């Protein structure tokens, strides 16, 4: 059966591009490449039967398409997603946010909120009618720490990790507390405000993205952490739009 054979998922984000082999049942393998360094498609010739591509970097979309062996399904609000889109400016919605909405609705149900810890942190809302209705965008965790490093003379670039204490005994420790614990405060406040919106009181909250595990670990409002949620959404979009 054609749907049982592997297909390719491509998720182009500002920092990294993810390539994944998948079939109708699951994601089989994932390779991440810095987006600026994409020069070829991983996996070689593995007999894929189709491709779905989501991109938030327009200049990279054509470059990656030129490397693909066949035409791909391009994710946008104009295709059959399996969820509705009730949003006044549909072309402004990133493909990753649409994929997150599809993935959360399919795997966890609705109403739902997805918190995606990427280059930016995004909050995407799907209502009980399985419609994407909007969200929130805030600076990403790495951009906050990089800003301090770039704009101050004495603060170093740090590696993010769980602080050992809430009182820093070094510059690095103090920065780590401000970043990780402070960022949790930002996320909690936005989530609490969203859950006060009509129809969202019982929303399931799912975290994904590069820092999802680190930040979500101590945020009790978050119900699930799924680092593959965006790719799962792309997988479901492919299955809905591929030829039978």
pLDDT at 56: 95
In a domain, 76, yes or no: yes
Residue 160 domain-assigned (yes or no): no
Point out the catalytic residue in the list 45, 78, 80, 96.
96
- Model confidence over 68-82: pLDDT tens digits? 989 999 999 999 999
CA distance linking residue 97 with residue 136, whole number of Å: 11
pTM, whole model, 2 decimals? 0.91
Residue 158 domain-assigned (yes or no): no
In total, the chain counts a number of residues equal to 244
Domain boundaries, position 105: 2-139+182-241
pLDDT, tens digit, 9 for 90 and up, residues 49-99: 999 999 999 999 999 999 998 999 999 999 999 999 999 999 999 999 999
**pLDDT grade for 190, boundaries at 50, 70 and 90:** very high
* pLDDT in the model for residue 154: 65
Distance CA 55, CA 77 (A): 13
The answer as to whether 38 is a domain residue is: yes
Q: pLDDT band for 172, please (50, 70, 90 cuts).
A: confident
- State residue 244's pLDDT score: 59
Q: Is residue 6 part of a domain?
A: yes
Per-residue tokens: 60: 């990279």
78 tagged catalytic: no
What is the domain-level CATH number for residue 45?
3.30.420.40
Q: Is residue 226 part of a domain?
A: yes
Q: Tens digits of per-residue pLDDT, 104-154?
A: 999 999 999 999 998 889 999 999 999 999 999 998 887 777 767 677 766
- C-alpha closest to that of 205 among 188, 221, 219, 227: 221
Domain annotation covers residue 232: yes
Q: Is residue 27 part of a domain?
A: yes
Number of structural domains the chain divides into: 1
């Amino acid at each position: 059966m054609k749907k049982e054979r592997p297909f390719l998922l491509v998720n182009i984000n500002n920092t990294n591009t993810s390539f994944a082999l998948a079939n109708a049942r699951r994601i089989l393998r994932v390779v991440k490449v810095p987006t600026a360094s994409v020069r070829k498609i991983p996996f070689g010739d593995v007999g894929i039967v189709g491709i779905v591509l989501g991109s938030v970097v327009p200049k990279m979309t054509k470059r990656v398409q030129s490397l693909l062996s066949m035409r791909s399904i391009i994710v946008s609000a104009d295709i059959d997603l399996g969820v509705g889109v009730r949003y006044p400016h549909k072309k402004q919605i990133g493909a990753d946010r649409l994929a997150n909405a599809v993935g959360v609705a399919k795997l966890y149900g609705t109403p739902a909120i997805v918190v995606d810890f990427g280059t930016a942190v995004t909050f995407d809302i799907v209502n009980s009618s399985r419609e994407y209705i909007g969200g929130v965008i805030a600076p990403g965790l790495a951009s906050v720490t990089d800003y301090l490093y770039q704009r101050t003379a004495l603060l170093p670039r740090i590696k993010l990790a769980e602080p050992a204490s809430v009182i820093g005994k070094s510059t690095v420790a103090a920065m780590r507390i401000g970043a990780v614990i402070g960022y949790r405060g930002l996320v909690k406040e936005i989530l609490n405000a969203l859950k006060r919106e009509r129809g969202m009181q019982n929303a399931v909250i799912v975290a994904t993205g590069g820092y999802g595990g680190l930040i979500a670990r101590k945020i009790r409002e978050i119900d699930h952490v799924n680092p593959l949620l965006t790719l799962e959404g792309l997988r479901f979009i492919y299955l809905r739009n591929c030829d039978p």
